[in-house]
Structure 1
């Protein structure tokens, strides 16, 4: 008997997003904010939020700046997500968005917080080892903070895979390429990341499928290639599916990929067939496009949207 149907969401890059509305904002000139709102953000937290919509137990972990803790705790409490974060020191990681409704421009400022040290990496590994037996899946998302070695996701994944954990990896750049050696069950690259992983550009459908086959040949169980408005290619065992979403009014693209990850894992936890997992992933992503990333859609909307995806079978599995 396997572990309970829960998920650990690893947030490598949590931060506090402050959004200030300032009319006629200009650099070098004083301005008065009409409103300010704050929210905990980052790919790992977005995955946890979308995952909680499906009703499965979710525990979020990762590194957190001490001064960000109240905002992150409020975010988790509002969504019924458990938190087991590793503190990395005083300070705060902040993304400041200045929204000018007059000129219709957004100015973004990044304020980096403290960096994880070697001991913090070890504490995160220990936390994952404790959490894994009580969860069926572990999802690692987001870019690494500055100064963290590219090999850290790979080193975190290896003991999880050895313990029988199903791991989904969605991190960019060199950490993604290094982590492939740990053979996570599933990966979700975009086209650029897929090309970088195999060392060549991938543009045509044939090139994409050849690159996917190469990753699966290296021991990856499932590959999800996100392609923006063109949908995604889902590959597992002998199945190769191109799933295209319906047209939708886009409120924000932030969090759509994280919703896709959550929908796919939720389908697996529901014991859906592969095509329905792909449909649920696409529906979750589409519903996320239609709203602010800080407010995940409700479950009924996602399930209703499953039928709207167009599925083309490129290869049929066993």
Structure 2
């Protein structure tokens, strides 16, 4: 079983506004709503890849039913703890004329101690030998910053594989429990090491330090520049593809889903990076936080393969 954890889900509201102006009245040319949160996005992609998952987390307020109905419609398994507070809304402003993308993300609900305990109990009961557990995204302010470390420790005690996609203190604390794999971007590496990390050599050096802490598999997304995958003693770099960009939201989540797909299908290191980079490239061509399809990913994998090298 694949388990995805989303501690701070959000309804993603995407506004399409041509020539967006600050401090002025702007009118939308289109609008869409997508259930989101990084773990939920991973589950959506996995479903399109033919891989079943169980989505866990917190839901409450006016959006709760919308999330559950949409997950049911997609055929994604889910068990969310019902909370008193309301699930947040994240607003994305897409200015197609100027090719500018603006995210306005809400902080999220207050999680009561009893609600957090309910979740940890549910999570512990759900994890078992051989599971793949994806822990990704931010957390509400009331949840302890070491929560991912706690959840990694529980999953590993049950014999599950863990993948962590987080930033800042959440990533630093999670690394202490040595997850199987992590998926930072270069900006998140910069935050982790408190210095600028923006080229391949710097990324490889920082990953070497992370590997020394006991994390063997590190997939680093670099936006339009491409992606790097370091696993064991092997290192590969895939150059970014030029594709029409409609939304950058969810590209990293699709790459996390690619890591899960690679484990399930026993892909080698090189093929894992090719697949992950193709997933990210396809995702940015989609509206909102729509999930990429396997057929579309496979259609551009050869283009990625032509631009990959061992480093």
Q: Normalized against structure 2, the TM-score is what?
A: 0.87
Rate the CA distance shift 1:108–1:231 in 2: closer, same or farther, 3 A: closer
**Matched-pair contact (CA < 8 Å) for 1:92–1:112:** no
Instruction: Work out the number of aligned pairs and report it.
Output: 309
Alpha-carbon distance in structure 1 between the residues aligned to 2:177 and 2:79: 24
SS in 2 for 1:254: coil
- Alignment partner, residue 282 of structure 2: 287
- Alignment partner, residue 3 of structure 1: none
Q: Where does 1:295-314 land on structure 2 (aligned, <5 Å)?
A: 295-309=290-304, 310-314=307-311
**Matched-pair contact (CA < 8 Å) for 1:39–1:71:** no
SS in 1 for 2:249: coil
Rate the CA distance shift 1:135–1:202 in 2: closer, same or farther, 3 A: same
SS in 1 for 2:110: coil
- Alignment partner, residue 268 of structure 2: 273
Rate the CA distance shift 1:258–1:23 in 2: closer, same or farther, 3 A: closer
Name stretches of at least 5 consecutive residues in structure 2 with no aligned partner. none
- Alignment partner, residue 225 of structure 2: 230
**Matched-pair contact (CA < 8 Å) for 1:7–1:138:** yes
Structure with bigger gyration radius: 1
1:23 Cα deviation from its structure 2 partner: 9.7
Q: Normalized against structure 1, the TM-score is what?
A: 0.86
Q: Where does 1:1-318 land on structure 2 (aligned, <5 Å)?
A: 6-19=1-14, 37-96=32-91, 113-133=108-128, 136-309=131-304, 310-314=307-311
1:67-90 deviation digits (Å, cap 9, x = unpaired): 321111122123210011112214
Alpha-carbon distance in structure 1 between the residues aligned to 2:200 and 2:25: 52
Rate the CA distance shift 1:290–1:179 in 2: closer, same or farther, 3 A: same
**Matched-pair contact (CA < 8 Å) for 1:18–1:38:** yes
1:53-73 deviation digits (Å, cap 9, x = unpaired): 111111111111243211111
SS in 2 for 1:182: coil
User: Which stretch shifts more, 152-161 or 118-127?
Assistant: 118-127
Alpha-carbon distance in structure 2 between the residues aligned to 1:106 and 1:198: 27
SS in 2 for 1:133: coil
Alpha-carbon distance in structure 2 between the residues aligned to 1:292 and 1:50: 14
**Matched-pair contact (CA < 8 Å) for 1:19–1:38:** yes
Alpha-carbon distance in structure 2 between the residues aligned to 1:207 and 1:282: 20
1:270-295 deviation digits (Å, cap 9, x = unpaired): 11111111111111111101111432
1:228 Cα deviation from its structure 2 partner: 0.9
User: Which stretch shifts more, 16-25 or 191-200?
Assistant: 16-25
SS in 2 for 1:252: coil
1:126-149 deviation digits (Å, cap 9, x = unpaired): 222222227621111111112322
Name stretches of at least 5 consecutive residues in structure 1 with no aligned partner. 1-5
Alpha-carbon distance in structure 1 between the residues aligned to 2:102 and 2:51: 37
**Matched-pair contact (CA < 8 Å) for 2:129–2:158:** no
1:100-128 deviation digits (Å, cap 9, x = unpaired): 99999988665555311222222222222
SS in 1 for 2:151: helix
Alpha-carbon distance in structure 2 between the residues aligned to 1:17 and 1:192: 22
